[in-house]
Structure 1
Amino acid sequence: MTKRIHIVEDDEDIRYIVCYILTEMGYEVTLADSISDFRRQQAEDFKPDLLLLDVMLPDGNGLDLCHELKKSPATQEVPVIIMSAHATEDQSIKRSGAEEFISKPFNLDDLTDLISKHLS
């Protein structure tokens, strides 16, 4: 069964590159450019196997979204990788409850290794 990854990232270039790489790796990828876009897709009963969340989004904060998802029984077991150019790893993981943090700009191999670690 194909693993599903949901990317919530407002930078179009990052979304495109990460989506392309993950699709080539055989994952089913869904994209959102904002929290409201993510919520709209989540309402359609899309349940990802892993989430990639940017911290700074146009309509909110990815750390707060992650914290909310980790409190919900429906999504608390979904691994989350936080991506940020501004936040620190300790701050991000403590505040959000995410499993992983990767600093932007990131090496694509490092990102795919983190994803593989949680989806293997």
Structure 2
Amino acid sequence: MGKLIYVVEDDEDIRFIVEYVLRESDYEVEVFGTLTAYEAQPKDKTPDLVVIDVMLPDGNGLDLCKSIRANPALQHTNVVIMSAHASPAYVLEQACADDFISKPFDLDYFLSRIKKVLHDAV
């Protein structure tokens, strides 16, 4: 398996297709439908990348991004924010994310952005 990617996305359809596309590209993937589910997962692994939706039913993806950035154990973890409503400039500035993907998105575009973030981090 390749790099470990966590996906925090409340929309079941988006979560399913993102997980499928990433697994088909040889990434190890864990998905979470809520902020609570993400926070409850065991801390025995460190993801290479966390893909986060801005609007979650129980929290804000920008706040999650900030908490990842503030955690020394996750200092090498990349973050990509997804949103249908927020502006890229605002998200990248406020959350200090590595990239932004606007929804809806083309799957090839999505995958190219993920690969770029992971490649640039090497």
TM bin (shorter chain) = over 0.9
Deviation at 1:17, TM superposition (A): 0.4
Deviation at 1:24, TM superposition (A): 0.6
Deviation at 1:117, TM superposition (A): 1.1
Instruction: Write the distance in 2 (CA, Å) between the matches of 1:47 and 1:67.
Output: 16
Amino acid across the alignment from 1:21: V
Q: Does 1:105 align with 2:117?
A: no
Q: Which residue is 1:19 aligned to?
A: 19
Amino acid across the alignment from 1:57: L
Q: Which residue is 1:8 aligned to?
A: 8
Instruction: Write the distance in 1 (CA, Å) between the matches of 2:82 and 2:117.
Output: 16
Instruction: Write the distance in 1 (CA, Å) between the matches of 2:43 and 2:52.
Output: 19
**Structure 2: gaps spanning 5 or more residues:** none
**8 A contact 2:23–2:29 mirrored in 1:** yes
Q: Which residue is 1:46 aligned to?
A: 45
Instruction: Write the distance in 2 (CA, Å) between the matches of 1:69 and 1:37.
Output: 15
Amino acid across the alignment from 2:38: F
Amino acid across the alignment from 1:83: M
Q: Give TM-score, length-normalised by structure 1.
A: 0.94
Deviation at 1:72, TM superposition (A): 1.2
Instruction: Write the distance in 2 (CA, Å) between the matches of 1:76 and 1:94.
Output: 18
Instruction: Write the distance in 2 (CA, Å) between the matches of 1:8 and 1:76.
Output: 18
Q: Could you list the per-position Cα deviations for residues 37-74 of structure 1 after superposition, in whole angstroms to 9, with x for gaps in the alignment?
A: 00111x34231111100000011000011011101111
Amino acid across the alignment from 1:6: Y
Q: Give TM-score, length-normalised by structure 2.
A: 0.93
Deviation at 1:2, TM superposition (A): 1.9
Instruction: Write the distance in 2 (CA, Å) between the matches of 1:86 and 1:45.
Output: 33
Instruction: Write the distance in 2 (CA, Å) between the matches of 1:46 and 1:73.
Output: 14
Deviation at 1:76, TM superposition (A): 2.5
Q: CA RMSD, aligned part only?
A: 1.1
- Count of aligned positions: 119
